[in-house]
Amino acid sequence: MENQLFIIPIFLRSPEQYELERITKERSEIEIGGQYQFGKLFELKWPPWQYNDIIGSFEVLVNAHKVLFVHKYKTESKRISRNPNERKIHRIILSYEFTESSCYKKIIKYFNTSKLELKDRILKILDELDNYVKRKNYFIDVIYYQNIINSLDIEKYIRIGHPKLE
């Protein structure tokens, strides 16, 4: 049985890209005299970046034998609007094509190798996932998870999740 180590949200864009688009949209509204809806002027309010732009996630799991697993979940939509007012709610489903990707073939070698410690394997996997989403022009906050891994006692976490090991 696996323990979930963490879920890494995949964002449509980075915080910087989001802020640039928000500012650009607000400037264009000012230049054209604002937006009208139902005959009245309204102000466009963009929700916070970290809640607006999640389009999927990576789930990182570890079992009692220190074997890692990674699953990718994604929105079922083919097109995702970058305008928060036009965004639709989509189901998030398991991505089977991820297991066929070159990224998955690279990270699978870190799942159960005795040459590297568990923390090092996880950090390598995080780097590969970061490269994978950058190629698709998406964003994950890999530094946040690297800091967690570097400060976490993963061995103790595994033992707590599997009391028979103690």
pLDDT at position 39: 58
Give the amino acid at 29. E
Other Cβ atoms within 10 Å of 77 Cβ, number: 14
pLDDT at position 92: 79
pLDDT at position 41: 59
With a CB cutoff of 8 Å and minimum separation 6, the contacts of 6 are 60, 145, 148
pTM: 0.78
Parallel, antiparallel, or unpaired: how do β-strands 54-63 and 2-11 relate?
antiparallel
pLDDT in tens, 78-88: 667 666 666 67
| Span 146-156, average pLDDT | 88
pLDDT at position 145 over 90: yes
Give the amino acid at 73. Y
pLDDT in tens, 111-142: 888 888 889 999 999 999 999 999 988 899 99
Cβ(125)–Cβ(104) under 8 Å?
no
Q: What's the rounded Cα separation, in Å, for the pair 107 and 36? A: 49
pLDDT at position 43: 62
Q: How open is the CA angle 75-97-132, to the nearest 5 degrees? A: 80
